[in-house]
Structure 1
Amino acid sequence: MKTVIKTQRMILRPFTAEDADDIWPCMTTNLARYMRWERPASAEDFEKIWRKWPVQLAEESNCVFIARNNQDQSFIGLFGMHGFKTPSPRLGLWVREELHRQGLGPEGIGGIMNWCRKYYSPDYFIYPVAEENSPSRRLVEGLGGKPVDVEQDPKFTLIIYHIPA
């Protein structure tokens, strides 16, 4: 799958190995506090994770999109579409900390949702959010998401949202 998604400020495309060096320094402990994952301890540990992403893409099960600024190609964040060929793909994202509160999260998620709607016709999207993560809850609610369930993760309580397709 060769996909490029363009939004007002970003270009999103599937992750490649060449992107890893831009991502690793931005994976902070503070950023990971509301993520289901912990910050990898080293660039080598991160490599063990990202090596799986192209395989998952080739299997058409998951796609990790890298977001870059469409002006200078600087790294913005990662946007995930997990199970993109299923009736209910799961969304996730993180934007580098110094770019928070600029509307990049909704812009990128909106772009990949539109891509998925065009090519795969989902019934709805799933978006899990840590209960304490108010900015992400506002983001998903702004996209029309409604809470439908609660799950206990080892790190925190997750609110499971459904976003209409």
Structure 2
Amino acid sequence: MNLLDLEIVTNRLFLKPISMEYKEVIFSEFTEEITTYLRPQSPKEISETETFIEEGITHLKTGSDLRFVILNKVTQEFLGCAGMHGIHDIEQQQPELGIWLKKAAHGNKYGLEAIAAIKNWVDANLKYEYLIYPVDRRNVASRKIPEALGGQISRAYEHKKMNGNILHLLEYRIYPNTKQVSG
């Protein structure tokens, strides 16, 4: 399944496949502050962002991941990135959702709108047992996303980042068709 042409449109957002067109803005907006509660580190050099995008394009071609840039539907302003990893994990059927938004986009419920749109597409097009949404327990705004989609905490664990910081992750399970949220 080649997902390079998949676009998702919501009331306020346009999700389109990640591409090199956005490398500079991803590099500049994926800051240390943004990654405080995320597993990945912010890139030190643009080549790291280019590698991330190249991997994303490869995964879109093979149909194993969804990787989108999130844009304002009207202005086309870059807002962040979202996606789902492990689409074809045949043994588990438990793909993992993820998202980050640039600082200026926080507080507008864009995260919920984007993740709800991805979940709605997945519900209509893929078979899965449940979606996984890991989030640091201190990241209250991000915890509201899986909770609004009917997600339930299935486990808690720690993850040590490369910089030595510890994330205190809650892993939510979001089941198919549990709750449709429009954006």
TM-score interval, normalised by the smaller of the two chains: over 0.9
| 1:106-145 equivalences in 2 (<5 Å) | 106-145=112-151
Residue aligning to 1:79? 82
Out of 60, 64, 68, which is 2:67 matched to?
64
Q: Indicate whether 1:88 and 2:94 are aligned.
A: yes
Out of 16, 21, 25, which is 1:22 matched to?
25
Which residue identity is paired with 2:172? Y
2-structure distance, mates of 1:105, 1:85: 24
Q: State whether residues 98 and 133 of structure 2, in contact with CA within 8 Å, keep that contact through their aligned partners in structure 1.
A: yes
In the TM superposition, what whole-angstrom CA distance separates every residue of 1:50-87 from its partner, at most 9, and x where no partner exists? 22111111121112111111111110110111112442
Q: How many residues align structurally?
A: 165
2-structure distance, mates of 1:50, 1:16: 6
2-structure distance, mates of 1:125, 1:28: 27
1:48 positional shift:
2.2
Q: Secondary structure at the match of 1:33?
A: helix
Identify unmatched segments of 5+ residues in structure 2: 161-165, 177-183
Aligned-pair RMSD on alpha carbons? Answer: 1.2
Q: State whether residues 126 and 163 of structure 1, in contact with CA within 8 Å, keep that contact through their aligned partners in structure 2.
A: yes
Q: Secondary structure at the match of 2:118?
A: helix
Which residue identity is paired with 1:115? W
Identify unmatched segments of 5+ residues in structure 1: none
State the TM-score, normalized to the length of structure 2.
0.85
1-structure distance, mates of 2:26, 2:52: 12
1-structure distance, mates of 2:49, 2:9: 27
Q: State whether residues 84 and 116 of structure 1, in contact with CA within 8 Å, keep that contact through their aligned partners in structure 2.
A: no
State the TM-score, normalized to the length of structure 1.
0.94
| 1:93-108 equivalences in 2 (<5 Å) | 93-108=99-114
